[in-house]
Amino acid sequence: MANNGYNRNYNKNYRSSNYNRPSQNRNYNRNNRRRRNRKRLRNRILIVSSMIIIVVLIILLLSVMFKSCFGGRDNGKDSETINTETVAATTAAPSASESKASSSGTSNNISDITSTTEFLTPEPEDNNESATLDGNILIWNNAGYELFYGSEDSATSYSQAINGYAESLGPSVTVYSMVVPNHTEMGLPERLKNGEGYTTTSQAENIKTIYSKLGSNVTPINCYNNLSKHCNEYIYFNTDHHWTGLGSYYAYEAFAKTTNQEVLPLTECTEGKIEGFTGSFTNMVSEDLGTDTVSYWKFPYETTMEMATETESEMNTYDSVYYEGETGGSNSYGVFIYGDNPLSILKSNRETGKKIAVIKESYGNAFVPYLTYNYDEVHVIDFRHWTGNLPKYCSENKIDEVLFINGIMSANTPMQIRAMDSLF
């Protein structure tokens, strides 16, 4: 019995000691693994850090090489940044004599029209008469001029919005952006752009800021230079804040040349006129500004227009892109595509095989008819009234080009940007 007790105690102690050994071994192995893992982690961190440093050094080296090869065009101003995706060519700043020749329309250098970094200075004829301020409208030479007070911040906000829209439309859609200066920039002599009680902002600098901050997936369309070349022609109304049919044609010319398309010859079109236009300034100022003439050009090819009803549930068809029944008075600008409507589709029999969507406010009305020369279908969307989804609409209608066109005042107005946001 004693031996059996001894054996039992021995076996019990033996088993106990053996049961403890695996636990000790497991702890030992676990600690070894932890040490090895920590060592591997340190090695990986060292390797990754080394690779990052090498990549940064390579990028810095390539940057230095690039600047040395291409001359480093940095002049310290963001507004002068060159968009490498722009079709436009950069030219040297024109001399005073060249600028004067350009404003008279004698220069046909395509880079003068399409450059987004060098802006021609408009030189309107000056009769040396004084101007009077009436609210936000400056009266000079029997015409009204809407003053502009945009800022770099508002310009940046607009370009950021356009960049976001291009991103939403996707890489399969080519996006263009055109910002239109107003009569103040093109028609007022420099001496009158700042005076007693008012200080205006340079629209050229504002537009350059917008264009310089556009992404590589947006092509800026500079109509400023072509308008500058023709600033002494009847390109803006005297009683209204819009441009004329002739002014919008010069913008169309800039668009066609920037996008490498054939330009509609205005000489092949037939001019129609509506006399007695009393524009938006008529009831805003105390001085009698008289009346304007609204000219529009009928094309040597067939055009039709489909226009959405108020509910947008169906389209009405018209046999012209102009409302030729329009008469003199306050609504004469409505001759262009029947005025402001949520959605209009302009069609021609030119058989180009191309479509484009134009996102616009009222400045676009006088502009879009000319596009029928280059596109079979021009889908005109007024972002202030249309309630659809633009990316979906482009996809459903197989549209792969989109132009955003806004007057300078709209481009610098947050409310207008929010209205465009609703398209997405």
* Residue whose pair of structure tokens reads 């400045």 in the numeric block: 363
Token reading at 52:
């990052």
Higher pLDDT, 390 or 104: 390
Q: Which residues make Cβ contacts (< 8 Å) with residue 245, sequence separation at least 6?
A: 294, 295, 296, 297, 336, 366
Least confident of 112-126, 165-179, 260-274, 280-294: 112-126
Taking a C-beta distance cutoff of 8 angstroms, is the pair 409, 361 a contact?
no
Tell me the range of 23-37, 107-121, 334-348 where mean pLDDT is highest. 334-348
89 assigned to some structural domain: no
Share of the chain above pLDDT 90, in %: 70
Higher pLDDT, 345 or 196: 345
Taking a C-beta distance cutoff of 8 angstroms, is the pair 269, 298 a contact?
yes
Is the pLDDT assigned to residue 69 strictly greater than 70?
A: no
Same domain, 218 and 142: yes
Q: CA-CA distance, 220 to 178, in Å (whole number)? A: 6
What is the extent of the structural domain holding 115? 96-421
**73-96 mean pLDDT:** 31
- Digit-coded pLDDT (tens) for 336-365: 999 999 999 999 999 999 999 999 999 999
- Digit-coded pLDDT (tens) for 50-59: 677 776 566 6
Instruction: Find, among 327, 184, 333, the residue nearest to 244 by Cα.
Output: 333
77 assigned to some structural domain: no
Extract long-range pairs of 391-397: CB within 8 Å, 24+ residues apart: 391/168, 391/169, 391/170, 391/424, 393/357, 394/169, 394/173, 394/357, 397/355, 397/357
Same domain, 278 and 314: yes
Which pLDDT band, with edges at 50, 70 and 90, does 120 fall under?
Answer: very high
Same domain, 141 and 232: yes
- Digit-coded pLDDT (tens) for 409-419: 999 999 999 99
Burial of 314 (0-12, 13-18, 19+ CB in 10 A): exposed
Instruction: Find, among 369, 390, 380, the residue nearest to 343 by Cα.
Output: 380
Higher pLDDT, 90 or 195: 195
Same domain, 101 and 66: no
Sign of the dihedral defined by the CA atoms of residues 182, 186, 192, 193, in that order: positive
Q: CA-CA distance, 306 to 101, in Å (whole number)? A: 42
Same domain, 206 and 130: yes
Q: How many of the other CB atoms lie within 10 Å of CB of 124?
A: 17
Q: How many of the other CB atoms lie within 10 Å of CB of 31?
A: 10
pLDDT reported for residue 117 = 86
24 assigned to some structural domain: yes
**152-181 mean pLDDT:** 98
Q: How far is CA 24 from CA 29, 304, 367, in A?
A: 9, 91, 86
Least confident of 37-46, 125-134, 234-243, 329-338: 37-46
Q: Chain-wide mean pLDDT for the chain?
A: 83
- Digit-coded pLDDT (tens) for 248-303: 999 999 999 999 999 999 999 999 999 999 999 999 999 999 999 999 999 999 99
Q: Residue type for 59, please?
A: I
Number of domains in the chain: 2
Least confident of 15-19, 167-171, 208-212: 15-19
Same domain, 30 and 121: no
Q: Which residues make Cβ contacts (< 8 Å) with residue 197, sequence separation at least 6?
A: 133
Same domain, 281 and 338: yes
pLDDT reported for residue 65 = 44
